[in-house]
Structure 1
Amino acid sequence: MNSGDTAWVLVSAALVMLMTPGLAFFYGGMVRSRGVLNMLMMSLGSMGVVGVLWVLIGYSTAFGSDVGLGLLGSPTEFFGLSPLLSGEQLSDTVPTMAFAAFQAMFAILTVSLISGAVADRARFGPWLLFAGLWAVVVYFPVAHWVFAFDETDNAGAVLAQGGWIANRLAAVDFAGGTAVHINAGAAALALVLVLGKRADWPQETGKPHNLPLVVLGAGLLWFGWFGFNAGSALAADTTAAVVLMNTLVATGASMLGWLVVERIRDGHATTLGAASGIVAGLVAITPACSSVTPIGAIAIGAVTGPLCALAISLKYRFGYDDSLDVVGVHLVGGLAGTVLVGLFASSAAPEEVDGLFYGGGVDQLWRQVVGAIAVFVYSFVLSLLLAWLVRATTGFRIRPDDEKEGVDETQHAETAYHFGDGRGSASAFRAPDVARALERTHS
């Protein structure tokens, strides 16, 4: 066991965990002030639900012995992760439990990403139910497709089969362009179609209530993403270093590209655009970070930033209310990053694959396209069915009056900001009837 590699994976797991609160701040700052707590709670709730499910069946489903055709791992093989307590090693250098913890953070973040699409109109309890069902039915199997590699002996013979995208299709997805971003973006699109539009959309879309909170969230995401991408090397080595550099420069290029689009289209560059461009670049470089040179990473960011900046306007053309542009950034950015591997991949990078622009022809390109389409279709169809199921059994959307009053008050009996004489600060954490009684006493 290599203590340096193990330490890097453990630190990377902590960095990825930080991305979920960062996402909560990023989303929370973009909604109206009466919905910020609900956005924070949707991410925090996902941490609880998905974290528990990962230990019970998630790791087994994603990384257990394949039950056939590279579609699914054995759901009970590592139940409770007890078989990993003895110090079983994933590789020559890293214990499997460290890898399991690292991948748990991926599962949590992926579910949290979906929540931004349905801001201001989803009930909290049904959201948690959907989050749990979606993790089990959609994310865990797709993680097996993409992240579970064949176990081989020294001669290269396959001892245990892994996921079909990673092994049979041989599409490159280093850290989750398909399993995380296309997966979450497709689910977000399905969810907004089932829940419908906000009552006042698009007439009153609502401006972000706290841009500094958005920038804080984007900064935490960028910081944590170094663990997300470079940690996927599972070693403190050259691959991790290349991936980290590619993550830096692709994100910077994407931000600049988004700002250029804003400057040309709107006459000014915005703080929200800079933060959104950062996230778009992070999304796009995720699948490609091990297969391109730093110049290729800059090219991917320069393409994806403007593409996502233009894609977010599609919701107005087609009439779907994607509140915080999960579809425009994560679905479109994930598709772009995954497909662009087939163009910009270079054998000089650690993945040692050549794309179309580096003399590899279309061989890698078609593999990337098939992998992206397969994950999109699977996630979109299953997400539609799960959203309809939750809506039919428990109800999913808040009542019109509650939407008007604000999802924070009606779902959590709290408000994020208190003004005036401060009487609300004492009552905000009590049951609504007690709060009203206290206010009458003060009056």
Structure 2
Amino acid sequence: MSSDYALPSSTPLERDARLVSTDHKVAPSEIAIGVVIGRTSEFFDFFTYGIASVLVFPKVFFPFVDPLRATLYAFAVFALAFIARPIGSAIFMAVDRRYGRGVKLTIALFLLGGSTAAISFLPNYAHLGAASIVLLAAFRIGQGLALGGAWDGLASLLALNAPENRRGWYAMMPQLGAPLGFMLASALFSFFLVNLTSEDFLDWGWRYPFYVAFAINVVALFARLRLVGTEEFSALLKKQELSAVPVLEVIRVHGRHIMIGAFVPLASFALFHLVTVFPISWITLFTQRSAGEFLMVQFAGALIAAGAIVASGLIADQIGRRTLVGISAALIGVFALGSIIAPILFGDSEIGQTIYVVVGFGLLGLSYGQTAGAVSSNFDNRYRYTGSALTSDLAWLVGAGFAPLVALSLSSRFGLAWVGVYLLSGAVATLSALALNKRFMREA
């Protein structure tokens, strides 16, 4: 191997991996597979915890308060990962610079899978008292730190290796991990809910999806490490296209882009939890509908979201990513207005609830499909990797981290119409951010 690829940040293991990989040129389609596997594993962990925050944690860890307050407490713990995520990015960027991306990803994914699996072994409140809640919060923070470190730059690598007229198509591929991860998590929980008694489910059934998470993360780790060791990846590192730079330096150079960029996907990220985690809480607390059956309705919605994500790639290549993100935000605004005007649509009517889920997931797929391109397209090459990670972290924190908590608080106190108001604010934020920076969505 030429010394051109013996980068200062490379570890001996990474250099050995490149020796093995230099005779194999990776096509964009192969990169896409690795990216989808990685994102699916992350979102499986994400949704496993999110669903359990509604169906399990209120009863297992917060039995000392009423069901509504218990669910709000569980959602507060849920938000901790989003607070920890930017901190994780800063820590793991330093690990990346010192020890290499392979070491960073290995630590991050083992921390993610380990934290998720550890939750499955937690004793309940009846056995451990307040310590069980402290441990739950600690492992949730561990998930957040790991998600910050799991940013691998593969989405940017995919975009930079994609044909120029297919950037929208390849930009949507990493986003498929969200519906795939949700489908896997919802199917597992639905299976146990339908086939176990309530006592067995709360005793041991809910723990199984958390066990599965560790195995999935190991598979994802090997898929991603194989790509990190490729000639294309090392060449991009050499050109400083995907190199980790100090966080403070990125903020100094691109602080404005980071702040505006965090608001560009706000409509999509707010909708993200308002069709996934929040509806399960409303169904469980305020209706007689079976949670297991409703999860399968959401499974079907996630299939629609996956199709809409694919469609977003085709549309974006025709009209541009910026235009599609703007149109999607406007459609989400219309959807939010409909929720304000006719909140009964989601109330007690099972047909209305199903329509809400189907339409919401369709809009989510259309808007979420191009958020990866929105995050990365406004940074100079040197700052693209770190800047994209920080922007994504802040977008998730502002747009999604507290969405279930806020939505349930508002709807339980003032009615479902306020969920529409909350979602409408996200649509307005996205359109305002796009207006503030018309060049933000220029083609990467």
Fold shared, TM-score > 0.5 on shorter chain: no
